[in-house]
Structure 1
Amino acid sequence: MGGERVRRGRGTPPRAVAYATAGAVLLAGCASMPDNGDLRRVESTPRQDAQVRVFAMPPSQDATPTEIVQGFLEALTSDDPRYRTARQYLTPQAAKTWRPELSTTVLADGPGAQAGSPGREESHEVSFTLTGTKVAMVDAEQSYAPASGPYNKLVHLTQDPKSGQWRIDGVPQGVVMGQSDFQRNYMSVNKYYFASNTGSASTGGPPTAVADPVYVRSHVDPTTQMVRSLLNGPTTWLAPAVRSGFPAGTALRKGTGTLTPDERGRLTVPLNDRAADVGTDRCEEMAAQLLFTLRTLSPAVEEVDLRADGRQLCSLSRGGAETVASRGSMHRPEYLYFVDDRDRVVRIAAGSSGTEPDPVPGALGDGDKALRSVAVARDERTAAGVGIDGRLLYVGALVSGGSLGEPVLQSRGKTEEDRLTAPSWDAQGGLWVADRDPAAPRLLLLEEGADEPLTVRTPGLDGRIQSVRVAADGVRIALVVEQGDKRSLLVGRIERGGPDGKTGGRPAVTVRELHSPTPELEQVTAMSWAGDSRLVVVGREEGGVEQMRYVEVDGSTPDVPAPAALTGVKEVTAAEHDSLPLVAYSVDGIVRLPSGDQWQKLTKGTAPVYPG
Structure 2
Amino acid sequence: MPDSGDLRGVESTPRQDAQVRVFAMPPGEDATPTQIVQGFLEALTSDDPDYRTARQYLTREAAKTWRPESSTTVLSDGPGALVDSTDRQDTGSLSYTLTGTKVATVDAQQSYAPASGAYDEPVHLTKDAETGQWRIDTVPQGVVMGKSDFQRNYMSVNKYYFASDSAGTPPMTVADPVYVRSHVDPTTEMVRSLIEGPTTWLSPAVRTGFPEGTALRKGAGPLTPDDRGRLTVPLNDKAAEAGTGRCEEMAAQLLFTLRTLSPAVEEVELRAGGGQLCSLPRSGAETVATRGALDRPDHLYFVDDEGRLVRITAGTGDTEPAPVPGALGEGEKALRSVAVARDERTAAGVGIDGRSLFVAPLAAGSPLGEPVLHSTGRTEEDRLTTPSWDARGGLWVADGDPADPRLYLLEADADEPVRVRTPGLDGRVRAVRVAADGVRIALVVEKGDRRSLMIGRIDRSEEADGPAVTVLDLRSATPELEQVTAMSWAGDSRLVVVGREQGGVEQMKYVEVDGSTPDVPPPAALTGVEAVTASEDEQAPLMAHSVDGIVRLPSGAQWQKVTEGTAPVYPG
Q: TM-score, normalised by structure 2?
A: 0.96
Identity %: 77
Match of residue 506 from structure 2: 546
- Distance in 1, matches of 2:273 and 2:179, equals 31
The yes-or-no answer on 1:479 pairing with 2:439 is no
- Distance in 1, matches of 2:395 and 2:209, equals 28
Match of residue 159 from structure 2: 191
The yes-or-no answer on 1:86 pairing with 2:54 is yes
The yes-or-no answer on 1:129 pairing with 2:97 is yes
Is contact 1:339-1:346 (8 Å) kept? yes
Matches within 5 A, 1:55-454: 55-117=23-85, 120-198=88-166, 202-203=167-168, 205-298=169-262, 300-448=264-412, 450-454=414-418
The yes-or-no answer on 1:600 pairing with 2:560 is yes
- Distance in 2, matches of 1:425 and 1:141, equals 31
Q: Deviations over 1:507-530 (max 9, x none)?
A: 111100101110110100000000
- Distance in 2, matches of 1:274 and 1:561, equals 43
SS in structure 2 at match of 1:284 = helix
- Distance in 2, matches of 1:156 and 1:119, equals 11
Is contact 2:384-2:397 (8 Å) kept? yes
Is contact 1:477-1:493 (8 Å) kept? yes
SS in structure 2 at match of 1:258 = coil
Match of residue 427 from structure 2: 463
Deviation at 1:449, TM superposition (A): 6.1
Deviation at 1:342, TM superposition (A): 0.6
Deviation at 1:475, TM superposition (A): 0.3
Deviation at 1:253, TM superposition (A): 1.0
SS in structure 1 at match of 2:241 = coil
SS in structure 1 at match of 2:269 = strand
Residue identity in the other structure for 2:164 = S
Q: Deviations over 1:253-296 (max 9, x none)?
A: 11111111001110001111111021111111110000000111
- Distance in 2, matches of 1:437 and 1:554, equals 29
Go from structure 1 to structure 2 and tell me whether the alpha carbon gap of 1:558 and 1:611 turns closer, same or farther (over 3 Å shift).
same
Q: TM-score, normalised by structure 1?
A: 0.90
Residue identity in the other structure for 1:217 = R
Residue identity in the other structure for 1:318 = R
Is contact 1:63-1:166 (8 Å) kept? yes
Which one of 474, 493, 509 corresponds to residue 533 of structure 1?
A: 493
- Distance in 1, matches of 2:407 and 2:170, equals 28
Q: Deviations over 1:156-209 (max 9, x none)?
A: 0000111100000000000000111101100000000000010xxx33x11000
- Distance in 2, matches of 1:252 and 1:197, equals 28
Matches within 5 A, 1:552-591: 552-591=512-551
Is contact 2:87-2:93 (8 Å) kept? no
Go from structure 1 to structure 2 and tell me whether the alpha carbon gap of 1:476 and 1:299 turns closer, same or farther (over 3 Å shift).
closer
Deviation at 1:565, TM superposition (A): 0.4
Go from structure 1 to structure 2 and tell me whether the alpha carbon gap of 1:388 and 1:299 turns closer, same or farther (over 3 Å shift).
closer
- Distance in 2, matches of 1:82 and 1:327, equals 34
Is contact 2:196-2:215 (8 Å) kept? yes
- Distance in 2, matches of 1:314 and 1:100, equals 35
Range with greater deviation from structure 2 (51-60 or 281-290): 51-60
Is contact 2:87-2:95 (8 Å) kept? no
Match of residue 491 from structure 1: 455
Range with greater deviation from structure 2 (402-411 or 334-343): 402-411
Deviation at 1:22, TM superposition (A): 12
Residue identity in the other structure for 2:376 = R
Is contact 2:211-2:241 (8 Å) kept? no
- Distance in 2, matches of 1:517 and 1:90, equals 37
Residue identity in the other structure for 1:187 = M
Q: Deviations over 1:78-134 (max 9, x none)?
A: 111100000000000000000000100011111111111155111101111111111
Is contact 1:431-1:449 (8 Å) kept? no
The runs of at least 4 consecutive aligned structure 1 residues that moved more than 2 Å come to none
- Distance in 1, matches of 2:326 and 2:205, equals 36
Output the aligned Cα RMSD: 1.4
Q: Deviations over 1:404-460 (max 9, x none)?
A: 111111112222112110100000000000011222211000001643111111000
Q: Deviations over 1:184-236 (max 9, x none)?
A: 100000000000010xxx33x11000000000000000000000000110000
Residue identity in the other structure for 1:578 = E
Is contact 1:288-1:325 (8 Å) kept? yes
- Distance in 2, matches of 1:348 and 1:238, equals 36
Range with greater deviation from structure 2 (334-343 or 409-418): 409-418
Residue identity in the other structure for 2:491 = G
- Distance in 2, matches of 1:299 and 1:67, equals 42
SS in structure 2 at match of 1:246 = coil
Deviation at 1:497, TM superposition (A): 1.1
SS in structure 2 at match of 1:575 = coil
Is contact 1:582-1:592 (8 Å) kept? yes
Is contact 1:395-1:449 (8 Å) kept? no
SS in structure 1 at match of 2:22 = strand
- Distance in 1, matches of 2:442 and 2:157, equals 20
Which blocks of at least 5 consecutive residues in structure 2 are unaligned? 1-13
Go from structure 1 to structure 2 and tell me whether the alpha carbon gap of 1:181 and 1:445 turns closer, same or farther (over 3 Å shift).
same
- Distance in 2, matches of 1:389 and 1:104, equals 50
Size of the aligned set, in residue pairs, is: 559
